Copies of this chain bind each other. A is one copy, B any other.
């Protein structure tokens, strides 16, 4: 380690795992640790686990990290440093920033996990040098982040960028948010899995190979299994992925026409499992969006993949803490 370097710790706190990494000013990930999120043990236990993981990395770093950035799967109240609502963690109005700062003796910044990943792709990934971009992450849910004129779009009360909940089919299937026809309800991992389970139940013969991979349990058919089966040419899986791709194109067209980004960066588990979707979405967007908006547009795969969250959270910490 070059002691002239500065460092920060980036954390990606999700419903299933806690990722912690030591990241340098160039966005390189130098050390990392991961542990399961034991959300069932309650917020205090999760915070204690998080502090222990950070302490372990912090103690190995010299000089000390400038601070800690945390991306949380949930809605953040930036003003009070609380986690307002996290369905995955089961948290409501949970004090967070101050608790971590006191336990660690380090400055902490908290943001949404998807916005952290957008910071990562923007500063150190596929979005480098670009002042107008959109990151669209298609995982179990669909989320995103927007950079406009060189600023992350946060909106009126910090809930901007909920790109999974743009309506693309006003008569479409119900979404978990309570509305219907959202991009997430047609192209998110949970929606792909639900649609597959529904179609397999209706025609088990057509779904035989997907059922086989899922150990003959209908409820174990996931978006990942649908993706794998589609790559082997399974007709039902191809149909389901085709529908999701059409939805993804419609959503991308809306975003491109409304925001006119220079780059649209696609990531998340569904895309990482089927990276050929990037080209299919790009073709669809070029055919359907306004010509003026597609002329300068590049559509590309995430460069940091699963590390975008920790790299971005650390970069955000370095930015905001060194500024003050």
Contact B166 A260 (CB under 8 A): no
Contact A288 B149 (CB under 8 A): no
With a CB–CB cut-off of 8 A, which chain B residues contact A257? 162-163, 165-166
Q: How many residues in A have their beta carbons less than 8 Å from beta carbons of B?
A: 51
User: Roughly how many angstroms separate A250 CA and B166 CA in the complex, as a whole number?
Assistant: 8
With a CB–CB cut-off of 8 A, which chain B residues contact A255? 258
With a CB–CB cut-off of 8 A, which chain B residues contact A51? none
With a CB–CB cut-off of 8 A, which chain B residues contact A295? 157
A173 within 8 A of B: no
Chain B's closest residue to A263 (CB) is B156
With a CB–CB cut-off of 8 A, which chain B residues contact A251? 167
User: Roughly how many angstroms separate A85 CA and B290 CA in the complex, as a whole number?
Assistant: 12
A154 within 8 A of B: yes
Contact B166 A169 (CB under 8 A): no
0/1 string, A74-96, CB within 8 A of B gives 1: 01000000001100000000000
Knowing A254-B167, A257-B166, the reply to whether A153 touches B159 (Cβ < 8 A) is: no
With a CB–CB cut-off of 8 A, which chain B residues contact A293? 155, 157, 159-160, 162
A3 within 8 A of B: no
Contact A260 B165 (CB under 8 A): no
A202 within 8 A of B: no
Knowing A148-B148, A163-B258, the reply to whether A289 touches B157 (Cβ < 8 A) is: no
Closest chain-B Cβ to A134's Cβ sits at a distance in Å of 10
A139 within 8 A of B: no
A190 within 8 A of B: no
A261 within 8 A of B: yes
Contact A155 B250 (CB under 8 A): no
A322 within 8 A of B: no
Closest 7 CB pairs of A and B: A155-B260, A160-B260, A156-B262, A166-B254, A170-B250, A159-B292, A165-B257
Given pairs A165-B257, A168-B168, 18 additional interface contacts (CB within 8 A): A149-B154, A157-B260, A157-B292, A157-B293, A159-B260, A160-B259, A162-B293, A165-B258, A165-B290, A166-B253, A167-B250, A167-B254, A168-B169, A168-B170, A169-B171, A170-B246, A178-B288, A181-B250
